Amino acid sequence: MSSEGFLKEMQTIGEKFLLKLQKLPKADPVEIVSFCVVLLFIVTVLVLMIIACSCCCYSCCSCDGRPDRRRRNIQVRPTAH
């Protein structure tokens, strides 16, 4: 998909979302609840992705951006008898 096609698709989705928001005050209660559930699901997925990315980044790097040297792999060697 080209960038122009992607931008056009995003614009179409945005227009549909705006139209849905404009019709929401006149909608049935069931439609309002279902819209809120879908919106809550999208927000939850985005928040979980941000948390996962930040935890992954934090485990690889410390807060100042340098790698954490304490997490090196240590090879275990057998003891001699």
The residue written with tokens 């209660």 in the block is 29
- Which pLDDT tens digit goes with each residue over 18-72? 898 888 888 899 988 998 999 899 999 999 999 888 877 766 665 555 555 555 5
Assigned domain for 10 exists: no
CB-based contact 73:66 (threshold 8 Å)? no
Structural domain containing residue 49:
28-57
Assigned domain for 79 exists: no
Kindly report the pTM of this predicted structure: 0.54
> What is the total count of domains within the chain?
1
Assigned domain for 75 exists: no
Assigned domain for 37 exists: yes
- Cα-based torsion angle of the residue sequence 13, 19, 22, 23 in order, rounded to the nearest 10 degrees: -120
Q: In angstroms, rounded to a whole number, what is the distance separating the alpha carbons of residues 10 and 4?
A: 10
Assigned domain for 72 exists: no
Assigned domain for 49 exists: yes
Q: In angstroms, rounded to a whole number, what is the distance separating the alpha carbons of residues 67 and 51?
A: 19
27 Cβ partners below 8 Å, 6+ apart? Answer: 35
